[in-house]
Structure 1
Amino acid sequence: MSTAASTPLFACSRCFSRHPFEELSPGEQLCKECRGLFPVVKCTYCRSEFQQTSKSNTSSICKKCEANVKLYGKPTACEYCNTIAAFIGNKCQRCANSERKYGPAVTCEQCKQRCAFDRHDDSKKNMLQVDGKLLCWLCTQSLKRALARTKQHLSVDRHKHRGHNHKDKRKSDMMKSKNSGDSLNESQPSEKKSKLNPLQGELDPNSSDHVVAMTQLKETIASLQKKVQQKEMELLSKDKLITELKAQHHNNTTDLRNEMKNKERMNETKFTLMNTKIQNLLKEVATLSKSAKKNNKNTKSLLNNTENSGSGTDSPSTN
């Protein structure tokens, strides 16, 4: 049985074509063809990279953060790494898990923030220890991307260089076959000249052109890393500013609502007091009206009695 036939194959989660396991992407289990159809983007919240799986869904939030938004609402900035991914409390899940596993956070030697974790008890698996420097997760991912881009550029340059050497070798073979009839004394100088010819043979790694190219490449990598770090710091500062503005807006809205509720309560209290006063005044008016009517009746009866008594005493005698 051949080795290819004995290798187990696994189905792509999108097109269901079968491939070796190492050729499928981690997580989504997509083949190379399906991976090329959709871009890899960074999550707005946790800043981890993920691949979009649909042309209609262009969301820049990963599935994990989408589920957390539905459960807990929009997150706040993590007090360690400043990513807007703190759904519960004031720490993101990544930093909270690292703190629980490796202890308190230390300063990252790249971004100078207190967001790195020293995995001293697990140095072989410490992926955040790069070139002897202790880096945070964000700086490690940035460095890995830069190294991957550099490796890709170097592989392209190496491929071009091999093709160039292959052409030079063919030219050299043709020259040798052409000069095969010459004498040994004439062939020895030609061989020395071919060795001195820069278009033949392998490129000397100590040559000035090679050193200049490597120096330029290193400078380009360093400048790109600085630009990436600056952009990430700008994004972090903008995310922090947005979070602060949202918190300020929330506080202002809460204060206005509380103030409106207090004013409504005061107005209701005043309205109740005014209604009570009006009712009391109406009762007083009614009482005064009744007493005034009684007084009028008494006055009229007194006047009538007086008139009647006066007419009886003043009548003259008939004798």
Structure 2
Amino acid sequence: MSTAAATPLFACSRCFSRHPFEELSPGEQLCKECRGLFPVVKCTYCRSEFQQASKSNTSSICKKCEANVKLYGKPTACEYCNTIAAFIGNKCQRCANSERKYGPAVTCEQCKQRCAFDRHDDSKKNMLQVDGKLLCWLCTQSLKRALARTKQHLSSVDKHKHRGHKLTSSHKEKRKSDMMKSKNSGDSLNESQPSEKKSKLNPLQGELDPNSSDHVVAMTQLKETIASLQKKVQQKEMELLSKDKLITELKAQHHNNTTDLRNEMKNKERMNETKFTLMNTKIQNLLKEVATLSKSAKKNNKNTKSLLNNTENSGSGTDSPSTN
């Protein structure tokens, strides 16, 4: 059985021609010919790769995010991965689903953000781990692209080596010159080996290009985040100013109310003092009248008793018979 027959083939999602899995594009599973028709771009919001459907439609937003924009409006930054893809709440759909499935987010060992998710015993755990490091989805995708570019570069170097070996073996008459050339090419290959080793050690070096689309989008996202934060700060400042104004008005109103209450209390105290003085004066006058009346009543009682006694004495003297 040949190796081609032993290798499983998979259908392209557009033309349905069968190819090895490595030759199909990740995500949409397109062959090289279908990929070459229209460019593969990254979504401005969710940062996932997709292929543009036509030359007239050059939108950099995937169909899923376009539908979400129509339904929910422009998204905000995800509180975990900072991608501008949070249509509902403060989290993008990718982080929300991962949090629901794998638990709270942990720190990514590449970008140092709290946007990675430990899959624990999941069979797909190795997809998000490189050299034992736990990476977030964005860093994993960047690493995969860098590794694919490194692999492609190494395969092209191997092809050049094989082609040079065929050329040297076919020309026996120029063996000496070919040996010199191979020696020189060997020196050049030795010189290129450190660069190849550097590319193997630094597969993410291409991702650090400040002019790359990733950095442009990241800078755009940061600018949008800064603008939104500045807008929030301005809103908070306006709220604080309005609250300070309200507090000042309430303090003035409280001061006026307190002054009015104090004046009212003083007026009532004066009125009470005046009434108290008048009542005391009336009481003193009434007491004097009572004392005067009591004295006159006593005098009248004495006079009445003396008159009664005199009347009784005079009556008894006239009524008694004579004793002759």
TM range (shorter): 0.3 to 0.5
RMSD (Å), alpha carbons: 19.7
Q: Which whole-Å deviations, capped at 9, do the CAs of 1:26-85 have from their partners, x for residues lacking one?
A: 554543212112111110000111111211111101111111111111111000000000
Cα 1:61–1:243, aligned 2, differ >3 Å: closer, same or farther?
farther
Q: Distance in 1 between matches of 2:200 and 2:259?
A: 82
Query: Aligned with 2:187: secondary structure?
Result: coil
- Could you tell which deviates more after superposition, 72-81 or 298-307? 298-307
Query: Does the CA contact (< 8 Å) of 1:82 and 1:236 recur in 2?
Result: no
Query: Does the CA contact (< 8 Å) of 1:40 and 1:49 recur in 2?
Result: yes
Unaligned runs of 5+ in 2: none
Q: Distance in 1 between matches of 2:54 and 2:269?
A: 51
- 1:105 maps to 2:105: yes
Query: Does the CA contact (< 8 Å) of 2:13 and 2:28 recur in 1?
Result: yes
Q: Distance in 1 between matches of 2:296 and 2:58?
A: 85
Unaligned runs of 5+ in 1: none
Cα 1:196–1:66, aligned 2, differ >3 Å: closer, same or farther?
closer
Cα 1:36–1:22, aligned 2, differ >3 Å: closer, same or farther?
same
The residue correspondences of 1:112-127 to structure 2 (distance < 5 A) are 112-122=112-122, 125-127=125-127
Q: Distance in 1 between matches of 2:255 and 2:69?
A: 18
Q: Distance in 2 between matches of 1:23 and 1:185?
A: 31
Kindly state the Cα deviation for residue 195 of structure 1 after the two structures are TM-superposed.
Answer: 30
Cα 1:210–1:144, aligned 2, differ >3 Å: closer, same or farther?
closer
Cα 1:168–1:57, aligned 2, differ >3 Å: closer, same or farther?
farther
Query: Does the CA contact (< 8 Å) of 1:42 and 1:48 recur in 2?
Result: yes
Query: Does the CA contact (< 8 Å) of 2:150 and 2:203 recur in 1?
Result: no
Query: Aligned with 1:115: secondary structure?
Result: coil
> Of the two structures, which has the highest relative contact order with CA contacts closer than 8 Å and spacing of 6 or more?
1
- Output the TM-score relative to the length of structure 1: 0.47
Kindly state the Cα deviation for residue 135 of structure 1 after the two structures are TM-superposed.
Answer: 1.1
Question: Highest Rg: 1 or 2?
Answer: 2
- 1:283 maps to 2:288: yes
Cα 1:102–1:264, aligned 2, differ >3 Å: closer, same or farther?
farther
Identity across aligned pairs (percent)? Answer: 98
- Could you tell which deviates more after superposition, 36-45 or 197-206? 197-206
Cα 1:188–1:8, aligned 2, differ >3 Å: closer, same or farther?
closer
Query: Does the CA contact (< 8 Å) of 2:27 and 2:50 recur in 1?
Result: no
Query: Does the CA contact (< 8 Å) of 1:77 and 1:240 recur in 2?
Result: no
Q: Distance in 2 between matches of 1:156 and 1:258?
A: 99
Q: Distance in 1 between matches of 2:323 and 2:55?
A: 133
Kindly state the Cα deviation for residue 276 of structure 1 after the two structures are TM-superposed.
Answer: 55
- Output the TM-score relative to the length of structure 2: 0.46
Q: Distance in 2 between matches of 1:250 and 1:168?
A: 112
Cα 1:286–1:115, aligned 2, differ >3 Å: closer, same or farther?
farther
| Number of residues of Structure 1 aligned to a counterpart in Structure 2 | 319
- Could you tell which deviates more after superposition, 75-84 or 209-218? 209-218
Q: Which whole-Å deviations, capped at 9, do the CAs of 1:266-308 have from their partners, x for residues lacking one?
A: 9999999999999999999999999999999999999999999
- 1:227 maps to 2:228: no
Query: Does the CA contact (< 8 Å) of 1:74 and 1:87 recur in 2?
Result: yes
